[in-house]
């Protein structure tokens, strides 16, 4: 549940870099996603035509502030997105490093504080830093979106222990792994750790068959969540026989 909205799918899908609108719609349908992200910059290029294409998916839109590097720029973009898309939901990105696209934690918290005060329901793209997470919650956010790895890198979960710690610390807060997921197995790993959802784009958009890849991600995420809820066996340092030694024949 995000900001009081119940959803059945734990996959959130980006809408950039697809070879055609038809392929984009096929991928969205195959994924089972109920939330799709869209950049205001993309909207500025394609206008109402792209908005009409997205409406065919019947998914809930999550506009983002992609490409913003200051709190002021992000806040302005969010305000414009609310007017264009008619939603108070906003995925807040404030990039602090040009190469890694790591979020600027100071500007992120500053922008989140302003937007939450204005009634936005903010989905902040952050790192697995616990202090930054606390500050974002204090600002009014009710969900956190820690990165798995740099955007578009496909590296998967570079700091799984950090994400596990974050899951334990923010036990009642929805956590969405955002960025860096390149394979369904990586998405399943995050879900097995108890995280709540996955947001991805490049791994599907750049696949040879985006619809098939979207379907694979949807299934992997569902399987990972079911495994978490079923209760994964603990890891052991030593072997433990699955067949009991009790009742074996004594040959001596």
Helix or strand run (H / E) with residue 62: strand 60-64
- The answer to whether position 180 is within a domain reads yes
Range of the domain at 210: 11-230
Give, in order, the Cα–Cα distances in Å from 87 to each of 51, 76, 197.
Answer: 13, 15, 21
Domain contains 2: no
Tell me how far apart the alpha carbons of residues 123 and 145 are, in angstroms, rounded to a whole number: 7
Q: At what angle do helices 21-31 and 210-230 cross, to 10 degrees?
A: 20
CB atoms within 10 A of CB 140: 17
**pLDDT at position 71:** 96
Q: So what's the pLDDT on residue 100?
A: 85
CB 150 within 8 A of CB 125: no
DSSP 8-state code for residue 243: S
Active site amino acids? 91
**252 located within any domain:** no
The answer to whether position 242 is within a domain reads no
Q: Is the dihedral of CA 230, 185, 237, 241 positive or negative?
A: positive
* Residue 152 assigned to a binding site: yes
**Residues 6 or more apart whose Cβ sits within 8 Å of residue 88:** 82, 119, 120, 121
179 marked as binding residue: yes
Query: In the chain, which residues have pLDDT < 50?
Result: 45
- Asked whether the beta carbons of 113 and 139 are under 8 A apart, the reply is yes
Per-residue model confidence (pLDDT) at position 129 = 95
DSSP bridge pairs for 5: 2
Q: Is residue 131 part of a domain?
A: yes
CATH number of 187's domain: 3.20.20.70
Q: 201, 17 in Cβ contact below 8 A?
A: yes
Answer yes or no: is 153 within a domain: yes
Residue 54 neighbours by CB under 8 Å, 6+ apart: 15, 36, 38, 61
- The answer to the question of residue 155 being in a domain is yes
251 domain-assigned: no
Q: Based on C-alpha coordinates, what's the Rg of the chain?
A: 20
Count of structural domains, the chain: 1
pLDDT at 110: 97
């Amino acid at each position: 549940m995000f900001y009081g909205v119940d959803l059945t799918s734990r996959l959130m899908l980006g809408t950039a870099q697809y070879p055609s609108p038809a392929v984009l719609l096929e991928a969205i349908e195959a994924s089972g996603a109920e939330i799709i992200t869209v950049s205001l910059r993309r909207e500025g290029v394609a206008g109402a035509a792209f908005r009409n294409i997205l409406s065919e998916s019947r998914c809930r839109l999550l506009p983002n502030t992609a490409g913003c590097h200051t709190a002021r720029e992000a806040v302005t973009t969010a305000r414009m997105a609310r007017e264009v898309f008619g939603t108070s939901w906003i995925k807040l990105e404030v990039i602090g490093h040009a190469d890694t696209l790591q979020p600027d934690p100071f500007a992120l918290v500053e922008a989140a504080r302003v937007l939450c005060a204005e009634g936005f329901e903010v989905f902040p793209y952050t790192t697995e830093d616990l202090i930054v997470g606390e500050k974002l919650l204090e600002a009014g956010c009710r969900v956190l979106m820690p990165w798995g790895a740099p955007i578009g890198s496909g590296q998967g979960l570079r700091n799984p222990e950090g994400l596990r710690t974050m899951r334990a610390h923010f036990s009642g807060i929805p956590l969405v792994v955002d960025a860096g997921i390149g394979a369904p197995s990586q998405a399943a790993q995050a879900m097995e750790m108890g995280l709540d959802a996955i947001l991805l784009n490049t791994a599907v958009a750049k696949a040879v068959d985006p619809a098939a890849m979207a379907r694979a991600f949807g299934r992997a995420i569902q399987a990972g969540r079911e495994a978490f809820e079923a209760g994964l066996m603990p890891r052991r340092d030593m072997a433990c026989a699955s067949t009991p030694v009790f009742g074996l024949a004594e040959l001596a």
